[in-house]
Amino acid sequence: MAHPQIAAFPRLGIENTPPSRLIFGQKTLLGRTMHDIRYDEKNDEFLVTNPFAQAILVFPGGADGNAPPLRYIQGPKTLLAGAVYSGLDRVEVDNVNDEIIVGVSGQIMFFPRTAQGDVAPLRTIKSDHPQFRIGQTTAVDAIHNLVVVGGTLASANTGTTSRAAILGGGGAIAIFDRTASGLVKPKAVIGGPKTEIVRINQMAIHAPKGWIVATQPGAGGEQEPENTFVGIWSINDNGDVPPRWKLGGPKSTLLKPRGVTLDAKNKEIIVADMRTNAILTFYFPEIF
């Protein structure tokens, strides 16, 4: 993207509705490839990453213009990687337990929410599952004390991640105990042909009802891949199970959904579609 920015639009915005504010410029420390953003309602802050600078940035909720972040995490102690294959283009915040969560270098890393500068992670989770490899997208369920992560399923025979998985096949979702640390067996792994997961991008969790809402943008490198959707699974699902709901198809007009967030008050699922450079809001009362 030639021009990085974070744009804020009114909830009821439609085609060509101008942004109510724009955050961009040198002082913001933003870069492109911000493939995630999280709003922390409790502390009125939002978080993004800068993968090129291997940094997690925290802004005040009302940030506007060329304004610097409140604080950022960056440095050798952080163990943060990022840019092309290592990740750090996604982030999650747990405002109940005051933690920032990222999936980087095949592990889930937890930082203090208020960390600033060169700070080591509080703990990390690595997958003790013969096939599941942790990816970059994380989402937290503070009610059930779970952390959900997108990743890939390696070949059962060779233990290696298949070419299909690397290119965008064999995607999966794993559910871990949020408080676990070290080499950890996932409580569940949702993956396989029936899930139709090729790869997982941004996820959101509706914790009161235990729904995992995950974007499935299809094979990487394709402009308009087939069978893209936003899938909804339960935190109690396990194995090769189809999504409970599949927000996608001709009515939805979704082509390549990559971002998703929930507006529980208005019972809406908000989706970012990268192929149409659009934000689509769906009334979806079933999950709320």
Partner 1 sequence: MAQRKFSSAAAGVVAAVVIAAVWMLSSLATGTAELGAASQMARRNPTGAPQLVAMERLPEMDGAMCQWMLANVETTLMASLQQGAPAGRASSGTAAEIPGDRPPARVIRDTYPNFSAVAVDFNRNEVYLQDENLFGIKVYDRTTNTPPSAAFSEPKRNITGLLTKLEFNCGLYVDQKSGEIYSVANDTVDTMVIFPRDADGNVLPARELSTPHGTFGIAVDEDRQELFLTVQHEQAVVVYHKMAKGDDKLLRRLEGPKTRLADPHGIALDPENGLMFISNHGSYNDRQKVGTGKFYPPSITVYRIDAQGDTAPLRIIEGSKTQLDWPATMAYDPAKKEIYLANDADNSVLVFGAEDSGNVAPRRVIKGSRTGIKNPTGIYLDPKNQELWVASMGNHSATVYRMDASGNTPPVRTIRSAPADKQALAIGNPGGVAYDSKRQEILVPN
How many Å apart are CA 95 and CA 234, to the nearest integer?
22
Instruction: Report DSSP letters for 52-72, one per residue.
Output: GGTEEEEEETT--BS---SEE
Please classify residue 283 by burial: count the beta carbons closer than 10 Å to its beta carbon, then call 0-12 exposed, 13-18 middle and 19+ buried: exposed
The answer to whether 213 and 206 are in contact (CB under 8 A) is: yes
> Which one, 153 or 247, has the nearer CB to partner 1?
247
How many Å apart are CA 105 and CA 136, to the nearest integer?
8
> Which one, 158 or 193, has the nearer CB to partner 1?
193
> Which one, 158 or 250, has the nearer CB to partner 1?
250
Q: How far is the CB of 166 from partner 1 (least distance, A)?
A: 13
> Which one, 18 or 130, has the nearer CB to partner 1?
18
Q: How far is the CB of 143 from partner 1 (least distance, A)?
A: 12
Q: How far is the CB of 127 from partner 1 (least distance, A)?
A: 19
Q: How far is the CB of 186 from partner 1 (least distance, A)?
A: 17
- Number of residues written out for the chain: 288
> Which one, 159 or 249, has the nearer CB to partner 1?
249
> Closest by alpha carbon to 172, among 205, 150, 202, 140?
150
Q: How far is the CB of 14 from partner 1 (least distance, A)?
A: 5
How many Å apart are CA 120 and CA 111, to the nearest integer?
7
Q: How far is the CB of 113 from partner 1 (least distance, A)?
A: 16
Paired tokens of 123: 């703990």
Q: How far is the CB of 94 from partner 1 (least distance, A)?
A: 15
How many Å apart are CA 149 and CA 174, to the nearest integer?
5
Instruction: Report DSSP letters for 177-190, one per residue.
Output: ETT--EEE--SEEE
> Which one, 159 or 220, has the nearer CB to partner 1?
220
Report which secondary-structure segment, H or E, holds 100.
strand 99-104
> Which one, 182 or 249, has the nearer CB to partner 1?
249
Paired tokens of 278: 């659009």
> Which one, 72 or 132, has the nearer CB to partner 1?
72
The answer to whether 107 and 101 are in contact (CB under 8 A) is: no
Q: How far is the CB of 157 from partner 1 (least distance, A)?
A: 25
3-state secondary structure of 282: strand
How many Å apart are CA 12 and CA 161, to the nearest integer?
42
